[in-house]
Amino acid sequence: MTSSKTTLRLTPLAESLPAAVPFVGPETQERARGAQFDARLGANESGFGPSPKAIAAMADAARDAWMYGDPESYDLRVALADDLGVDADQIMVGEGIDGLLGTLVRLFVGQGDPVVTSAGAYPTFNYHVAGFGGALHTVPYRDDHEDPEALLAKAAEVGAKLIYLANPDNPMGSWYDAARMEAVVAAVPSGSLLVLDEAYIDLAPDGTAPQIDPETPGVIRMRTFSKGYGLAGARVGYAIGPRALITAFHKVRNHFGMSRVSQAGALAALRDPDWLEHVRAQVAISRAEIARIGAAHGLRALPSAANFVTLDCGRDGDFARALVAALSAEGIFVRMPLKAPQDRCIRVSCGQKAEMMAFEQALPRALARCTEI
Task: Write the CA distances from 324 to 209, 263, 308, 337, 342, integer angstroms.
Answer: 32, 35, 15, 11, 14
145: DSSP letter: B
48 touches 230 (CB < 8 A)? yes
| CA–CA distance, 110 with 224 (Å, rounded to integer) | 26
Q: Torsion angle of alpha carbons 174, 180, 185, 189, nearest 10°? A: -90
Residues 87/81, Cβ–Cβ less than 8 Å: yes
- Beginning with the edge strand found earlier in the chain, give each strand of the sheet holding 237-240 in spatial order: 91-94, 237-240, 219-224, 193-197, 162-166, 114-118, 135-139
Q: What is the pLDDT of residue 332?
A: 98
- Tell me what pLDDT residue 2 has: 52
pLDDT computed for residue 1 by the predictor:
47
Domains along the sequence of the chain with CATH: 23-49+274-369 (3.90.1150.10), 53-271 (3.40.640.10)
Q: Identity (one letter) of the amino acid at 341?
A: P
Q: How far is 305 from 176, CA to CA, in rounded Å?
A: 10
Rg from Cα positions in the chain:
21
SS3 297: coil
State the burial class of residue 137 (Cβ atoms within 10 Å of its Cβ: 0-12, 13-18, 19+): middle
DSSP state of 284: H
Q: Are 151 and 167 in contact (CB under 8 A)?
A: no
Whether the link from the prior residue into 242 is cis, omega within 30° of 0, is: no
Q: How far apart are CA 220 and CA 239, in angstroms?
A: 7
Q: How far is CA 224 from CA 116, 139, 280, in A?
A: 22, 26, 15
**Rounded to the nearest 5 degrees, what angle is found at the Cα of 348, between the Cα atoms of 343 and 349?**
135
- Which residues does the chain have with pLDDT short of 50? 1
Helix (H, G, I), strand (E, B) or coil at 197: strand
Number of C-beta neighbours around residue 27 at 10 A: 11
CB proximity list for 350: less than 8 A, separation 6 or greater: 41, 46, 47, 48, 282, 283, 286, 287, 290, 307, 308, 309
